[in-house]
Amino acid sequence: MSHQQSPKKELIVIAGPTAAGKTAVAIKLAQQLKTEIISADSRQFYREMSIGTAKPSAEELSQAKHHFINSHSVTENFNVGDFEKQALQLLDKLFKTHDKVIMAGGSGLFIQAVTQGFDELPVADANIRSNLNQELAEKGIDFLQNRLKDADPVYYQQVDLNNPQRLIRALEVFETTGKPFSSYRKATINKRYFDCIKIGLNLPRDILYQRINQRVDDMIDQGLLEEVRSLLPYRNLNALNTVGYSELFDYLDGKIDLNTAVELIKQNTRRFAKRQLTWFRKDKEIKWFMADEPDLIDNIIKELFY
């Protein structure tokens, strides 16, 4: 057997909406392939947020080595560009000892950053940012959503519309440069030395929604409210402006009752799952599987290797 050609390195991406079962599949695959997992979930980086981000359990973490889980504090500024840089450095290291590495998560932007990268974004004017923050405080998130719809209809279709930081980022880039945020995100594709194989997991909508609702109930049982209460001092941080946390902050402020907060978490998570699916469906390289099919892992392995 000749050794001159080392096998091409492969990053196996497992994407899909929240609650589709990505963690379990990633762990089974990692065990079969004797490799490690990079989390591409923009909320599981944070040590202080565990219940509300559906982190892998201690038992799951012990079954396969995970990276980028509990790697940062909510007080640190950690954005998609930082993730791209750190994940690529980690891949360089992992590919020295593994031919295949798994990346699993539901954050499309973070997966895109590692698999293909995107342009450097311009630095925005600080005054513009503070004006936008003021508009958010005075006129609410709907006002920013409508402004983004006019300024950048393309990004409006892709962005998490409930995340004010993302809306402000896109608007400040537009106001600083006069060019839509979306135009910066597709100009150059950075070539990677590894191949990317992308697997998408989905479920019939009623089952997915049922699983989301059940997961939210489980989070409440596991003590999500206490977790959110402990994070009150940090509530103004970007990382906490997110589903599962914002609704319970409103409850703690006395704006809504607990039942309403829980129903809103379910509703906002279902909407989030819908947006995740919209994002991933645009990626023609993703090969889709139903997460509840009986021989799922065997079928994925067949797809990967034959």
pLDDT value at 4 more than 70: no
Question: What Å distances lie between residue 67 and 44, 194, 201, 212, 213, CA to CA?
Answer: 10, 19, 21, 25, 28
Categorize the per-residue pLDDT at 273 as very low, low, confident or very high, splitting at 50, 70 and 90.
Answer: very high
Domain 126-185 has CATH 1.10.20.140: yes
Can you tell me the mean pLDDT for 122-129? 74
* Per-residue pLDDT at 187: 54
Q: What is the mean pLDDT of residues 108-124?
A: 80
* Residue 258 contacts residue 229 (beta carbons within 8 Å): no
What is the reported pLDDT for 306? 67
Instruction: State the average pLDDT over residues 250-266.
Output: 98
For range 7-31, the mean pLDDT: 96
Could you tell me where in the chain the CATH 3.40.50.300 domains are found?
10-118+188-305
Mean pLDDT taken over the chain = 91
Using CA atoms, how far apart are residues 239 and 233, in angstroms rounded to an integer?
A: 13
Q: What is the pLDDT of residues 28-60, one digit of tens each?
A: 999 999 999 999 999 999 999 999 999 999 999
Q: Quick one: what percent of the chain has pLDDT higher than 70?
A: 94
pLDDT at 126 over 80: no
Span 13-27, average pLDDT: 97
Residue 131 has pLDDT above 90, yes or no: no
The confidence score (pLDDT) of residue 21 equals 96
So what's the pLDDT on residue 3? 42
The per-residue pLDDT for 78 is 84
* Superfamily in which the 10-118+188-305 domain is placed by CATH: P-loop containing nucleotide triphosphate hydrolases (3.40.50.300)
Q: Describe the strand order of the beta sheet including 100-104 as a list of residue ranges.
A: 66-67, 37-39, 100-104, 10-15, 195-202, 286-290
Q: How confident is the model at residue 15 (pLDDT cuts 50, 70, 90)?
A: very high
Q: What band does 81 get if pLDDT is binned at 50, 70 and 90?
A: confident
202 beta partners: 290
Q: Residue 192: name the closest of 114, 118, 120, 121 by CA.
A: 114
CATH 1.10.20.140 domain span(s) along the chain? 126-185
pLDDT on residue 188: 58
pLDDT tens for 176-220 read 778 888 877 665 567 799 999 999 999 999 999 999 999 999 999
pLDDT for the residue 147: 93
Which pLDDT does position 68 carry in this prediction? Answer: 97
The confidence score (pLDDT) of residue 219 equals: 98
Q: What is the pLDDT of residue 72?
A: 95
Q: Which residues have CB under 8 Å from 77's CB, separation 6+?
A: 238
